[in-house]
Amino acid sequence: MLSPLPPLLALSLLLLAALPAAAAEVWHAARTLSPGDILTSQDIEAMAPRRPMPGLIEAARNLVGLEVKRRVRATAVLTERDVGEPSVVRSTQMIRVFWKRAGVTLEMEGRAMESGALGEEIRVHNPRSGRTIRAQVVALGTAEVRGGAP
């Protein structure tokens, strides 16, 4: 019969499990990064992590071309929350919004209340009615209401 692990050993093993599989190197910011920046190879550098954290991005993954979603200070480790697909709709931007149903298509102009990448759902303010609706980003500056009324 196996005896249970001492609490300190169990905690150490749990922390090590939070590191990426090949925890040798993860991505760090080479300079301070701002939301909206598109990553280039000069913006990131691979280094060993200082401490285990959930969501670290392995250096084997290509980040060039992804968008920075939150401010990241120079030398800080990059996590999954910090980067994502580039936004094709920006917050406060006037966008085209479509609603399609049973062969009928309605189009309106609305103001994006948040930024979004292709396929993401965003809030859009309809300036004529004063209502806020949810729509899926389908192209540059364009979103589509899925189901329901516009």
Q: In a structure prediction context, what are the per-residue pLDDT tens digits for the chain, which is 150 residues long?
A: 555 656 655 555 555 555 444 457 999 999 999 999 999 999 999 999 988 888 999 999 999 999 999 999 999 999 999 999 999 999 999 999 999 888 889 999 999 999 999 999 999 999 999 999 999 999 999 999 987 655
pLDDT, residue 146, reads 84
Distance CA 118, CA 140 (A): 8
The verdict on 65 and 130 lying in the same domain is: no
The domain that holds 108 is classified in CATH as 2.30.30.760
Distance of CA 124 to the CA centre of its chain: 19
Q: Are residues 78 and 103 in the same domain?
A: no
Tokens 């929350």 -> residue: 81
Q: In CATH, what number is assigned to the domain containing residue 71?
A: 3.90.1210.10
Is there a domain that residue 34 lies in? yes
Domain boundary among 41, 62, 86: 86
- Does some domain include residue 112? yes
Residues 77 and 135 in one domain: no
Q: Which of 59, 35, 57 is nearest to 45 (CA)?
A: 59
pLDDT computed for residue 2 by the predictor: 53
What is the model's pTM? 0.67
> Same domain for 38 and 54?
yes
How many structural domains does the chain have? 2
Can you give the residue range of the structural domain that contains 120? 94-145
CA distances from 130 to 106, 123, 124 (A): 17, 13, 10
Classify residue 97 as exposed, middle or buried by CB count within 10 Å of its CB (0-12, 13-18, 19+): buried
Tokens found for residue 51: 């401490």
The pLDDT of residue 20 is 46
Residue 150: inside a domain:
no
